[in-house]
Amino acid sequence: MSDYLSQLNDVQRQAVTTTDGPVLVVAGPGSGKTRVLTFRIAHLIEKGVAPWEILALTFTNKAAKEMKERIEKIVGDKSDKVWAGTFHSIFARILRVEADKIGYPPNFTIYDTDDTKSVLSAIVKELHLDPTAYNVNNIRSRISSAKSNLITPRKYAEDEALRLQDRQANMPQIYAIYEKYTARCKRSGAMDFDDLLYRLYELWHTNPDGVLDKYRAKFKYVLVDEFQDTNHLQYAIVRKLVHYEGSPRNICVVGDDAQSIYAFRGATIQNILDFEDDFKPFGIRVFKLEQNYRSTEQIVQAANEIIIYNKRQIPKQIWSDKGLGQKIKLIKAMTDNEEGRRVADTIVEQKNRYHLRNGDIAILYRTNAQSRIFEEYLRRYNLSYRVFGGLSFYQRKEVKDLLAYLRLVVNPKDEEALRRVLNYPRRGIGDATLDKLSEMAGATDTTMWENLLKVEASTRAKNAIGEFVALIQKATELNGNAHEVATYIAKGSGLLSHLKEDTTVDGMARLENANALLDGIKAFVEEDLETESTADKSLAAYLQNIALLTDLDQADPDPDFITLMSTHSAKGLEFKSVFVVGMEEKLFPSYMAMDNPEGLDEERRLFYVAITRAEQFLTLTYSNSRYRFGQMRFNEPSRFLEEIPRDVLESTSSMSPRGGRTVTEETSVGTPTAKVMGNFARRPAAPSGPVVDPATFKPSPSESIQAGMRVLHLKFGEGKVLNVDGGKDNRIATIEFKDLSDAPQKKIMLKFAKLQILGGEAP
């Protein structure tokens, strides 16, 4: 057996070596998902598959980079030839080659959110619509949803249900805005992030010059990471590639339905729940990675107990052999200000007692607005931290201004870039000229740049326009690398000189940011960065590289910092110590999900993701009161706290008489004798089945439970033990519970199970 295969457990090895046909790998948190993916690719290459015939799709650049690095350790430089990257970066790479077949230039611009909102604002103004009713964020969301569901502007206009929703939302002209926005982007040679998927599907679907057949022949093996986060459109693209008559259907998807948390972005949990049925006629193999290598047993037990409250899911029982570990600490605060102080105190205590580094610690919250109070206390305690999800470097005005110039050099059709810089720094070209250019472009179906060339001779701003056009044309003609072009533009446009005029602290910071961008471009040219082709150091390659970055991909000068981020941003990460804060009703779970069972299930999955980021220490906090939207709000503890087994919480007492738990929380760090009592009422969110009276329930020794016995479980009621697998410390029982209509069979780790034996063989 090859050495790399010996590093895998039995299930991982089967998932890696079962290379042909459809494969579903259900990977619990910390179960070695990345290892399985990378070893599977390495195994394919070792078997003789050409690396360029392998397509691996991820959701972050970081994951793709880590994947390639791991593959390289096994197969060497061949890993560079694997097509591994995010959906958006891989699809952008394909579209750069094929975009002309659907009417786009190869150097199309990628619009970010601000670009899209700017275009939409202009269209709302052109259509003389009320901007308060036609909020651009809402419009963008509606258009994004339409694209994700493969609804064209024409289909949208003909869909009475969608039109009715828009009328009820007081936005009846969304269909017209969608049509104009699509036409405007195409005229500008621009695609937004949704278009990188939407236009690739168009390319696959129309199949000009057999382009789909070309890529079907090219990619012999397709792998998809984090499959539970795919949306309808992403799966439709993958299906086009592998699910057709005569295909070997060599597709492997890896994911965990319990970590599906991006419905707000259009992701659908149905993709992973239905994947097995979709490929069942073609001999699909399903492997479940259930051993957690990250977290201690008490954290894993809490996660298992929480997620069973969700209805539809793929049955699995995650387990760990890393020892019981510390109990989960629960901190109650009277105010959000006290919550911030208590978290900072606990961090200091953990750093001193357990010698944790700042980089070992994360504070996770449901909304980004919660970060302020924790930032204040971390600063007071002189603790280094970094907030993820704030304003990205590439979203700062001075950076976007310089990037707009560079975008225009690469793609003169880019109308948003032209609008941004035509009169910046000021050169005497007013809004009237811009409006005239836009009107001419719309009337003649040409670009604003083409009309700029025509009007320069007749406008009063002739000299200014002439100099601007000459600047862009000269930069376009330069054959230098990206840094040379960028430096020429930064100086020639007057942008750097303009920034130097502001000698305030803020002004100097803006100049530093512009220079930092130029430094970044120089590093891109000189270093072997993780781009699609490290040999391509063109300005177009640089712009695509940064357009697809997330803030998690940015380097930090001080790597030892406490991480502050939303729970959504934390997926895929792990820390020795995790604080999940703000555990209150209407905050976590969010008030927007309270009346929606599917939304509440997703909130629970989000909590599951948050607590499974912790390796050794998990602290949950909530506050009796906090300011929200300018008002003091008084809060109930989150229902999710009730769902955690009381024996894994620090200082948990017995069930309260009204059926809820009475939990004892510490009120001062390091002073266990100071206690305060708090009640959590039991909610009706538990799975169907009888409610067992805890007063009469008497758990039997786990080692006594054998196949064939009738047993009683607090949540699931009476059941029959079908079989028992595993070694002495990790025995797992498969039990069929007679009163559970949905997924009656459960796999339960016996050392955590608390089962009462009712008798021998069940009737």
Question: 701: part of which helix (H) or strand (E)?
Answer: none
* 8 Å CB contact between 451 and 469: no
First-to-last alpha carbon distance for the chain, in angstroms, is 46
Q: Are 639 and 685 in contact (CB under 8 A)?
A: yes
**Euclidean distance between CA atoms 468 and 539, whole angstroms:** 19
Beta bridge partners of 330: 620
Residue of 112, 115, 166, 225 marked catalytic: 225
Catalytic residue from among 510, 613, 710, 715: 613
Buried b (16+ CB within 10 A) or exposed e, 370-389: bbebbeebbeeeebebbbbb
Q: Report helix angle 193-206 to 136-148, nearest 10.
A: 30
HEC assignment per residue over 171-228: CCCHHHHHHHHHHHHHHCCEEEHHHHHHHHHHHHHHCHHHHHHHHHHHCCEEEECCHH
Catalytic option among 86, 230, 234, 259 = 259
Given 17, 19, 34, 446, which residue is catalytic?
Answer: 34
Angle separating helix axes 193-206 and 87-98, nearest 10 degrees: 50
Q: Examine the residue annotation and report whether 298 is marked as an active-site residue of this protein.
A: no
* CB proximity list for 606: less than 8 A, separation 6 or greater: 261, 366, 567, 568, 588
Distance in angstroms (rounded) separating the CA atoms of residues 394 and 193: 16
Which residues, listed in sequence order, are joined to residue 253 by a DSSP beta bridge? 24, 224
Give CA 108 to chain center in angstroms: 25
| Token representation of residue 149 | 């569901």
Is 322 noted as a catalytic residue in this protein? no
Question: Using the 8-state DSSP alphabet, how is residue 588 labeled?
Answer: T
34 assigned to active site = yes
Q: Which two tokens stand for residue 225?
A: 């990471």
CB neighbour burial string for 393-424, b if at least 16 within 10 angstroms, e if fewer: ebebebbbbbbbbbbbbbbbbbbbbbbbbbbb
**Measuring CA to CA, which residue among 271, 267, 233, 266 is closest to residue 145?**
266
Express the helix, strand and coil content of the chain in percent, nearest 5 each: 50, 20, 35
Helices (H) and strands (E) in the chain, counts: 28, 24
Of the candidates 58, 215, 118, the residue with the CA atom closest to the CA atom of residue 548: 58
Angstrom distances, CA of residue 645 to CA of 25, 328, 365, 482, 608: 28, 10, 22, 57, 14
Instruction: Round to whole Å and give the CA distance between 441 and 551.
Output: 36
Which one is catalytic: 112, 166, 226, 229?
A: 226
Assigned token pair, 684: 């009706």
Q: Would residue 225 show up in a list of annotated catalytic residues for this protein?
A: yes
Nearest to 392 by CA among 521, 550, 522: 550
For the four alpha carbons of 37, 39, 41 and 44, in that order, the dihedral sign comes to negative
User: Catalytic one among 13, 33, 199, 605?
Assistant: 33
Q: What is the rounded distance in angstroms from the CA atom of residue 657 to the CA atom of residue 26? A: 40
Q: Which residues are catalytic?
A: 33-34, 225-226, 259, 613
